[in-house]
């Protein structure tokens, strides 16, 4: 059985550990591993090649993905999806493992509705917004990148008695911002999942400043669209000199943490096991400390919700 792995959408730390274990596990299960380079675009343009142990030697510590990734507008035209299918058949590949997030899984679901093919998904997104899995590949490394950045920002905030607004990625999901706020001791956290009571926050912060507070850290999820509003509020209403730090794409890079190396390995191994069982339409998930699979329909039809215990730890004003 010939099986291929590819990345799709945004990259995330842990993809290379997953690629390495995919190749090793494929050989262990008497399968032939292949790479699809540059995601959906590469699938359309037939950038497919056989993989070897040599290809994955020494990559486990590297961020990004040696197979590349992409987003593709062409994919949403039937003729290009058909071409991708024909390319896979031409290479005699019988199954595809896709590392991606919500958009990638929707693209694969469309493909599965039209063609008889085996596809296994690996939740790969720092946003951690995939239903059914406690954590997605890359989220832990992103959290550590954010933690390091906020720790450094705190140094200058405390020295100059300033407020800093730190914007995190995450699209419509506030997971990165919520966990980062808790673990950095931020005074303010603004996420899409919870309404922020600005009046109560104003009262509390002004009282704390009277009692000696010298600086403020505010973590804002990009999906709220309220970053500039929070900057203005801290500057004008709280009366503190304020700076904005948009962390941006550094959150998607860097050496994967131990946790993401383990997750990448586990996700990839379970994907090969699923194919060996004959599964054809599944997403590997990690829940309650174990790997299992759910259908694409199940994953895509439900919304990821941040654990209530995480939300309860936030220092919300109000």
Just list the catalytic residues.
127
Task: Look up residue 211 and give its two tokens.
Answer: 């009692």
Give dist(CA 27, CA 282) in Å, integer: 21
The residues near 60 (Cβ < 8 Å, ≥ 6 apart) are 16, 17, 20, 256, 261
CA pair distance 48, 15, nearest whole angstrom: 18
Contact indicator for 176, 310 with CB cutoff of 8 Å: no
Neighbours of 221 (CB within 10 A): 28
User: What CA–CA distance (Å, rounded) separates 243 from 229?
Assistant: 13
Q: Where are the alpha helices (DSSP H) in 91-216?
A: 102-114, 139-160, 175-184, 198-210
Query: Which positions ≥6 away from 306 have C-beta within 8 Å?
Result: 173, 174, 175, 178, 191, 193
Backbone φ and ψ of 249, nearest 5° = -75, -5
């Amino acid at each position: 059985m010939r099986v291929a792995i590819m990345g799709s959408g945004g990259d995330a730390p842990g993809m290379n550990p997953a690629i390495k274990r995919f190749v090793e596990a494929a050989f262990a299960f008497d399968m032939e591993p292949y790479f699809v380079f540059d995601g959906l675009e590469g699938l359309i343009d037939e950038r497919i090649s056989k993989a070897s142990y040599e290809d994955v030697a020494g990559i486990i510590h590297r961020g990004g993905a040696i197979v590349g990734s992409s987003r593709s507008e062409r994919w949403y035209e039937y003729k290009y999806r058909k071409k991708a299918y024909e390319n896979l058949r031409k290479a005699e590949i019988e199954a595809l493992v896709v590392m991606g997030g919500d958009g990638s899984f929707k693209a694969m679901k469309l493909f599965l509705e039209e063609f008889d093919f085996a596809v296994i998904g690996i939740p790969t997104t720092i946003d951690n917004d995939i239903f059914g899995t406690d954590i997605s590949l890359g989220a832990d490394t992103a959290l550590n990148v954010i933690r390091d950045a906020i720790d450094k920002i705190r140094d200058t905030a405390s020295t100059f008695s300033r407020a800093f607004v730190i914007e995190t990625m995450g699209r419509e999901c506030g997971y990165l911002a919520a966990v980062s706020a808790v673990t950095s001791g931020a005074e303010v956290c603004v996420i899409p999942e919870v309404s922020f009571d600005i009046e109560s926050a104003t009262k509390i912060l002004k009282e704390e400043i009277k009692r000696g507070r010298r600086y403020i850290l505010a973590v804002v999820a990009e999906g709220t669209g309220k970053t500039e509003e929070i900057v203005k509020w801290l500057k004008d209403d709280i009366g503190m000199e304020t700076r904005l730090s948009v962390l941006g794409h550094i959150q998607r890079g860097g050496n994967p943490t131990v946790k993401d190396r383990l997750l990448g390995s586990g996700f990839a191994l379970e994907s090969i096991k699923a194919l060996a069982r004959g599964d054809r339409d599944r997403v590997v998930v990690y829940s309650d400390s174990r790997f299992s699979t759910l259908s694409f329909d199940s994953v895509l039809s439900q919304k990821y919700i941040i654990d209530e215990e995480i939300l309860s730890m936030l220092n919300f004003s109000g």
